């Protein structure tokens, strides 16, 4: 564990960067999960089917996948400061425009453009971490970051339901969309792409950041090495499994809780928030654990062993939820399953920094692109299966199987093998 005297040596501007990243993660997932909580109201108001709603969910993830690598590459080239400012302003506008949708066509178009704008947010945050944090602190930094995503997901349910109760579903998109404008102004004024360029960073903190960190200076992107890396493909396969399962929670869980398990809107909102609460705590614990294992047992145990066991446990818990008969037991098992998967989330992103170094933006973007292809497929598959068979059991079986596939893919990852 990092000693307090070391952590507190010199200034602590990097933790301000982490606070900005944390708050962006909260806002990102408030905006992203907002639509899943509002989905039952949108379906009724716009008179659309579950399959059409699933198409709107997936339009976001399709665009997010298509534009992820270009946005991550741009962050490597010109820096996260300018790229993230553009990203946050864009998605905030289209969050607000979601409240103006009049039918399935406009809803799908708006969500597609929303996804195109938000693409690259997390690769650019990862790129900033590779510059601002030494390897010994990156698990912690990623843990805090993804705790923010789960906090945003947990806050979304009660906040959205409260706004809908008094002002309707359209108003919640306008309300949440304004938050990004405030953050973008703060980021533009306070962040610098290089710690050495920040006026408040002293020599002691700069030395701490640089200690043990490989050269992350701008360099030509080694596309041949990246595209021929079996290591990268294993990471992408692993993350496909993770994101396929994750998007069930982002999209269909509130509908499943209310329509299938019979929860009221209030109790359904609670159980829709519970997975994100547990996942947030798991992110903090997982970030600390992967850093600890990296120092004591090496990167393979810190990333691969931890990741494989976490994903396998999640698959088992989802299967267990289909066997339970009590609705509360089903909901709790599903919540714990997300927490189990998220225990490995810091390891997922840290391994990209391990192998990517100066090209972390591109590497994380590739991983997130393939993951979001899983996120694109998942909601459509669930919507189709439920529409056709009027059962949620088979979609959950499939989700458990995809998590198990992700666990196996972890075994092919070598965190000690750098791409370039």
Average pLDDT over residues 292-301: 90
pLDDT category, 217, cuts 50, 70, 90? low
For residues 314 and 382, what is the distance between their CA atoms, to the nearest angstrom?
A: 18
**DSSP assigned state of 258:** I
CA 355, CA 186: separation in Å to the nearest integer? 31
Distance CA 168, CA 148 (A): 26
- Report pTM: 0.74
Phi, psi at residue 345, to the nearest 5°?
Answer: -65, -40
Q: How far, in Å, CA of 132 to CA of 218, rounded?
A: 14
**Fold exhibited by the domain 11-192+222-410:** Growth Hormone; Chain: A; (1.20.1250)
Specify the residue for token string 């690259």. Answer: 120
Q: Assess contact for 378 and 244: CB atoms under 8 A.
A: yes
Q: What average pLDDT does this structure show over 356-384?
A: 83
Please, what is the Cα angle at 2 between 356 and 201, to 5 degrees?
70
243 closest CA partner among 370, 121, 148:
370
Report residue 355 CA to chain centroid gap.
20
Q: Which of 288, 282, 284, 270 is nearest to 311 (CA)?
A: 282
Q: Given pLDDT bands bounded at 50, 70 and 90, which one contains residue 33? A: confident
**pLDDT-based confidence at 304, cuts 50/70/90?**
very high
DSSP output for 358-369? GGHHHHHHHHHH
What is the average pLDDT across 58-83?
Answer: 84
> Helices 121-132 and 50-78: crossing angle, nearest 10°?
30
Find the length of the chain: 420
Tokens of 308: 């494989």
- Half-sphere exposure (CA, 13 Å, Cβ side) for 326? 4
Q: How far apart are alpha carbons 87 and 180 in whole angstroms?
A: 10
The packing angle between helices 169-177 and 13-46, to 10°, is: 160
Q: Is the pLDDT of residue 355 over 90?
A: no
Cα→Cα distances 381→197, 220, 249, 293, Å: 48, 39, 14, 37
Q: Is the pLDDT of residue 268 over 90?
A: no
pLDDT for res 365: 80
């Amino acid at each position: 564990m990092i000693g307090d005297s070391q952590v507190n040596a010199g200034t602590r501007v990097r933790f301000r960067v982490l606070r900005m990243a944390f708050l962006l993660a909260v806002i990102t997932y408030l905006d992203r999960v907002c639509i899943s909580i509002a989905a039952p109201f949108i379906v009724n108001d716009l008179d659309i089917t579950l399959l059409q709603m699933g198409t709107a969910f997936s339009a976001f993830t399709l665009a997010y996948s298509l534009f992820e690598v270009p946005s991550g590459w741009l962050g490597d080239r010109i820096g996260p400061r300018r790229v993230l400012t553009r990203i946050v302003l864009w998605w905030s506008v289209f969050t607000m425009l979601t409240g103006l949708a009049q039918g399935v066509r406009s809803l799908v178009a708006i969500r597609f453009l929303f996804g195109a704008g938000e693409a690259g947010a997390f690769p650019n945050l990862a790129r900033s971490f590779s510059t601002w944090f030494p390897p010994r602190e990156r698990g912690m930094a990623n843990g805090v970051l993804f705790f923010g995503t789960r906090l945003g997901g947990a806050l979304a349910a009660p906040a959205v339901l409260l706004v809908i109760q008094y002002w309707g579903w359209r108003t919640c998109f306008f309300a949440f969309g304004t938050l990004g404008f405030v953050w973008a102004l703060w980021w533009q004024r306070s962040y610098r792409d290089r710690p050495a360029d920040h006026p408040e960073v002293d020599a002691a903190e700069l030395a701490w950041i640089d200690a043990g960190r490989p050269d992350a200076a701008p360099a030509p992107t080694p596309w041949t090495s990246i595209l021929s890396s079996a290591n990268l493909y294993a990471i992408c396969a692993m993350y496909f499994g993770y994101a396929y399962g994750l998007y069930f929670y982002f999209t269909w869980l509130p509908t499943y809780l209310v329509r299938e398990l019979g929860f009221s809107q209030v109790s359904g909102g609670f159980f829709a928030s519970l997975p994100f609460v547990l996942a947030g705590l798991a992110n903090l614990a997982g970030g600390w654990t992967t850093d600890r294992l990296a120092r004591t047992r090496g990167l393979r145990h810190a990333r691969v062993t931890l990741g494989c066991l976490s994903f396998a446990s999640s698959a088992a818990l989802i299967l267990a939820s289909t066997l339970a008969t009590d609705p509360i037991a089903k909901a709790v098992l599903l919540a714990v399953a997300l927490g189990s998967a998220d225990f490995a989330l810091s390891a997922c992103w840290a391994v990209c920094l391990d192998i990517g170094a100066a090209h972390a933006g591109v590497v994380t973007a590739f991983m997130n692109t393939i993951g979001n292809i899983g996120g694109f497929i998942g909601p459509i598959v669930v919507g189709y299966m439920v529409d056709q068979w009027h059962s949620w059991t088979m979609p959950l079986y499939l989700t458990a199987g995809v998590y198990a596939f992700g666990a196996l893919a972890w075994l092919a990852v070598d965190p000690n093998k750098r791409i370039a």
